[in-house]
Structure 1
Amino acid sequence: MSVLVLGGYGAVGAHLVRLLRAQGIPTLAAGRDPAQADRVLDLTATDSFRTALAGVSTVVNCAGAENIRLAEECTHRGIVFIEISATSDYVRALERVDGPAVLGVGLAPGLSTLLAVDVLSSAPGPVDIMIGLGSGEHHGPAATAWTYRLLGQHFADPDGTSVRNFTQPAHFTIPEQAGYQPFPALRADFADQHRLTREYAVPVRTYLRLDSRLATTGLAALTWAPALRALVPQRMPGSDRWVVLARSADGPTRWATGCGQSLATAAVAAATVREVTRHRITAPTWIHELLEIGTLRHDLAAAGIRL
């Protein structure tokens, strides 16, 4: 097999290429820069993308390009398309692709999804998922742009009401190992809450906070005036520590924590690529249909992630 990593020298892609090559998996980094890319391509040009697919069995999209045609170009050829995006509308479109695709691969969705499924295996729900991100980490422009796109936007709650991103604060008990001070997390539209709510027929809700109270409060304020995001400083206070947890109303809490969300996303993606080589994927598949949190322990520990 051969893996093509779109954005293969970016924040997540560079880690993923390194991890896959360390496992002996032939991997090509793709992008526009001929000095860094094994295959030079322009994702806005269909012919360029088609040419880059020669001899490839799996494509991992780490470029931040949410273009359904990229997935279709792969799946029509029987090439597995693995997506790390968290955007709900885009992921729903990928669920309708005719062919092999793996969705919700990364930190959130991905690790967050697997933790929630583990909770649901022993408790009936509802389940709350909390994603805590280090506001001091430079995770890449695509991740920053994704967060800011949520400002002022609404999504559907499991009870049918409309929720504005970065509102409805809720408190979570965070493990001491994460190094997070106690203050509320805010509702945010991550794709796995919708998938798991449909699949398990119980409310699953996702929340986001940063390790900085100031930065989290800023999101809560900007969601009412998103045009002011241009005033946000380039460098935010905070660290690169992240934490993801899932809790049920009357049952267990599962959590994971580490440093560097780019590395964590790449570690989950690398495990997914390896799993794809063991299973024949023919249709859109979510990560929890391939992996369980227990099977990831070795990969996560190697990336400095604690469960």
Structure 2
Amino acid sequence: MSVLVLGGYGAVGAHLVRLLRAQGISTLVAGRDPARADRVVDLAVPESVRQALAGVSVVVNCAGAEDIRLAAECARHGIVFIEISATSDYVQALEHIDGPVVLGVGLAPGLTTLLAADLLAKGPGPVDIMIGLGSGEHHGPAATAWTYRLLGRQFTDSDGTLVRNFTKPAYFTVPGAAASAYKRFPALRADFADQHRLTHDYAVPVRTYLRLDSRLATTGLAVLTWAPALRSLAPKRMPGSDRWVILARSVSGPARWATGRGQSLATAVIAAATVREAARHPITAPTWIQELFEIGTLRRELSAAGVSLWHVPAVHM
């Protein structure tokens, strides 16, 4: 197996390359910079992409490029295309690719998807997912730009109504040690791709909420969503830590949650596990991460990266 990591020297890609090489997996870094890339590639040039794919069996897209033609080109060559994007319309388009594509790989979606799927496999929904991100982490400009891109946009909820991003606040109680960084204040609805897929697969509402560890930064998103033209005034970096926490709770009470430091590293750990799983199981069509493995199979790898996994019978609303 030979893996090509698009954006292999970026925030997530650098961690992923290190993890895969440590496991003895042949891994190539792809990017524009000849000084840092094993294969120089311009993702906007089809011929450049085709040349970079020579001899490769798996491609992981850590470049932030949401171009369905990349997955289609991999599919034409029978190459597994692994995507870490959370963007709903792009991910939904990838679901129609005629070839081996793996979706929902990362922290959110990814770890959130597995936690919610574990709840839904054991009891009824609906399920609410809370994603708490450390606003002070240097996760790369693409992550900040992605969050700001949601401002003012709407998405279709499970009941068919339209929801504006960063509205409809809800409270989540963060259990355990992470509670000190994530004090009680509202999280806001946000359009992460896995809520739509889980709602479809389990025929119950799954709703995703986002908050930052900074109350001020979270409030800023709630204000700017009504005036998205002002997003140029939003800071590129905000005060806060690099701690993240995600929580999936069922309306019947049980919950699953995880916490760690560095969302880039956590995303890379999930991606590395997905690469190995893709090598074990033939993939011929678009496949979501929860179809490949369960959350319990990742416990040891996540623990090695400083990620704690928990389940509790119930949490207070």
Q: TM-score if structure 2 supplies the norm length?
A: 0.96
1:76 Cα shift? 1.1
Gaps of 5+ in 1: none
1:101 Cα shift? 0.4
Map of 2:315 onto structure 1: none
1:56 maps to a residue whose letter is V
Greater shift in the superposed pair: 169-178 or 18-27: 169-178
Map of 2:252 onto structure 1: 250
| Cα contact 2:125–2:205 (8 A) shared by 1 | yes
Map of 1:121 onto structure 2: 121
Residue 291 of structure 2 corresponds to residue 267 of structure 1: no
1:117 Cα shift? 0.4
| Cα contact 2:144–2:236 (8 A) shared by 1 | no
| Cα contact 1:123–1:251 (8 A) shared by 2 | no
1:233 Cα shift? 2.1
Q: How many residues align?
A: 307
Tell me the SS of whatever aligns to 2:280: coil
1:235 maps to a residue whose letter is R
Query: Which stretches of structure 1, 4 residues or longer, exceed 4 Å deviation after superposition?
Result: none
Alignment partners' CA distance in 2, 1:284 and 1:61: 15
Alignment partners' CA distance in 1, 2:101 and 2:236: 35
Residues 172-187 of structure 1 aligned to structure 2 (within 5 Å): 172-178=172-178, 179-187=181-189
Residues 109-148 of structure 1 aligned to structure 2 (within 5 Å): 109-148=109-148
Alignment partners' CA distance in 2, 1:290 and 1:186: 30
1:170 Cα shift? 0.1
1:302 Cα shift? 1.0
The RMSD of aligned alpha carbons is 0.6
Residue 125 of structure 2 corresponds to residue 103 of structure 1: no
1:118 maps to a residue whose letter is D
Map of 2:38 onto structure 1: 38
Alignment partners' CA distance in 2, 1:119 and 1:247: 8
Match of 2:200 among 188, 198, 201: 198
1:268 Cα shift? 0.3
Gaps of 5+ in 2: 310-317
1:296 maps to a residue whose letter is L
| Cα contact 2:260–2:308 (8 A) shared by 1 | yes
Map of 1:211 onto structure 2: 213
2:64 maps to a residue whose letter is G
Residue 84 of structure 2 corresponds to residue 84 of structure 1: yes
Map of 2:228 onto structure 1: 226
Residue 238 of structure 2 corresponds to residue 236 of structure 1: yes
1:180 Cα shift? 1.1
1:91 Cα shift? 0.4
Q: TM-score if structure 1 supplies the norm length?
A: 0.99
Tell me the SS of whatever aligns to 1:121: helix
1:299 Cα shift? 1.0
| Cα contact 1:16–1:269 (8 A) shared by 2 | yes
Alignment partners' CA distance in 2, 1:74 and 1:298: 31
Identity across matched positions, percent: 80
2:59 maps to a residue whose letter is V
